[in-house]
Amino acid sequence: MNTRRALLSVSDKTGITDFARQLHGAGWELVSTGGTLKVLEEAGLPVRAVSDLTGFPEMLDGRVKTLHPAIHGGVLARRESGHLAQLAEHGIGTIDLVCVNLYPFRETVARGAPDAEVIENIDIGGPAMIRSAAKNHESVLILVDPADYPLALQAEVSRTDRRRLAAKAYAHTSAYDAAITAYLGGGEQGQPEPADAALPAHLSLDLHRAHEVRYGENPHQAGAIYRWGEQRGPVLDAQVVAGKPMSFNNYADADAAWALCAELAASHSGQVACVAVKHANPCGVALGGSVAQAWTQARDADTLSVFGGVVAVSGPVDLEAARSFHGTFLEVLIAPAVSAEAVEWFAAKKPDLRVLVAASAEAGRLDVRPLSGGFAVQERDLRRWDDLCPEVVTATQPSESQWADLRFAWEVAKYARSNAVVLARAGITVGIGAGAVSRIWAAERAAANAGEAAQGAVMASEAFFPFDDVVRLAGQAGVSAIVQPGGAKRDPEVIAAADELGISMVLTGSRHFRH
């Protein structure tokens, strides 16, 4: 029986020495390159340099090492065909195991290395060897992940496992190519393109599973949570410190809650923001002097909808704050920090509540949504109140407190599903109408939710008003000020109605439509 030959050339050297030692003990001949060769030699293992097989030294500062028929012929030869005779004719031996992972391209980009260094970390020979071995996986074991090393040491590796390893190998090179594509297509030295630049003609969605969930939106649907390339997210990478595992819907709602909470925290420094979400829509939002105060006010804004909801707070949760959540059933609580005492309290008093510590990460620039057979892609809506030029168009001017509430209500409306109308007063939402197919229905829902609390409240609408009906409804409810995008043909009529009712009106010239 011919000696089996393994080619080892890895950037991530986790476990490689022990693996090589076990291969040697099982009778494998070891072949290696560059840094891996040095590591194995220093470990006292008998290992041949690739240059011994090719007859050529490494060239061009290491850019050319394995791109040679003596390597790829040994990997690609079909064992059951006339290929072996051709190898023998040229003095080439087979290679039966290829263990390769690639230059740290993504890591080099992540640490802000100069462009020349990034380009030098584009691996060429590695992907070629991986693809060759994966193509010939029935005869050649391909390993790209140290977790799979034990599998290669089995006496017999099944055809199913060989095929799985090949698929994993192609996923490895696909993700690598996607990262390179994103870097080279991202403007000078991989920096993001300007906000007004067209979206790329080619967009690679390199997705790999980050979290398992029991099912999707409904029990009859399979589901999982995937990471896009190397991106991180505050919820995707959050630490679950107490409670049950997260569900598919928990992730979606927590992501929505945290996005609004983070924007409010950045916009209202010195105050704690609390956002309660139900089915990806805010249902109770408040600013307060403490987590407990903000939470209590957000809860009381809509106690019916908050039940079974997801809550995000912008301040750290200590034991006192944790106790304020007693008495309300919630699915998820996410915060920037949770004390050990609070974690212990939640585990004892609310064992079903999933308590998350948000990761320090921001959402990516692109918003990607699935279509049948494709995706709709847009830039994420990063426009904030401070980016606007609000214009008062009525005779009545908003007071200082009304300006603060108009800003707050506008920020909440940005994260509510359209059509969306938000009523707020003193930094608390008192009525929200979201996801309505008619803007008048959204306004009616918000006013009905608010009831008497609408008296003196402000109104924010993400949609402009084509008629004066919403303004008159607001007047009947007792609303004192309105902010809306403007831009409708009947703006003069709408403004005149506001003047008639003594309501101040602000136009932003910008809307935040959200499906």
Percent with pLDDT over 70 in the chain: 92
Strands (E), 69-148: 97-101, 141-143
Name which of 50-64, 127-141, 162-176, 236-250 the model is least confident about: 50-64
Looking at residue 106, its pLDDT comes to: 81
373-420 confidence digits (pLDDT tens)? 898 988 889 999 999 999 999 999 999 999 999 999 999 999 999 999
Q: Is the pLDDT of residue 166 over 70?
A: yes
pLDDT tens readout for residues 81-95: 777 676 677 677 778
- What's the chain's average pLDDT? 88
pLDDT 10s digits, 253-277: 999 999 999 999 999 999 999 999 9
- The domain made up of 5-184 is a member of CATH 3.30.360.10: no
- Range(s) of the chain covered by CATH 3.40.50.1380: 5-184
17-26, 77-86, 164-173, 362-371: lowest mean pLDDT where? 77-86
Mean pLDDT of 33-38: 82
Q: Which residues contact 67 (CB under 8 A, 6 or more apart)?
A: 124, 125, 128
pLDDT of residue 60: 60
Q: Is the pLDDT of residue 10 over 50?
A: yes
CATH number of 232-357: 3.40.140.20
Looking at the predicted structure, is the pLDDT value of residue 486 above 70? yes
Residue 190: what pLDDT?
41
Secondary structure class of 479 (helix, strand, coil) = coil
Q: CA 91 to CA 87: how far, in whole Å?
A: 6
According to CATH, the superfamily of the domain at 387-507 is AICAR transformylase, duplication domain (3.40.140.20)
135 is catalytic: yes
The residue type of 87 is L
Of the listed 135, 168, 211, 268, which one is catalytic?
A: 135
Average pLDDT over residues 310-339: 96
Q: Where are any strands of DSSP class E within 309-435? A: 309-313, 330-335, 354-357, 366-371, 374-379, 391-392, 420-425, 428-434
Secondary structure of residue 443 in the 3-state scheme: helix
CATH 3.40.140.20 domain locations along the chain: 232-357, 387-507
Which residue is associated with the tokens 């301040």? Answer: 315
Kindly report which listed range (98-112, 248-262, 285-299, 445-459) carries the lowest average pLDDT score: 98-112
User: Catalytic residue at 279?
Assistant: yes
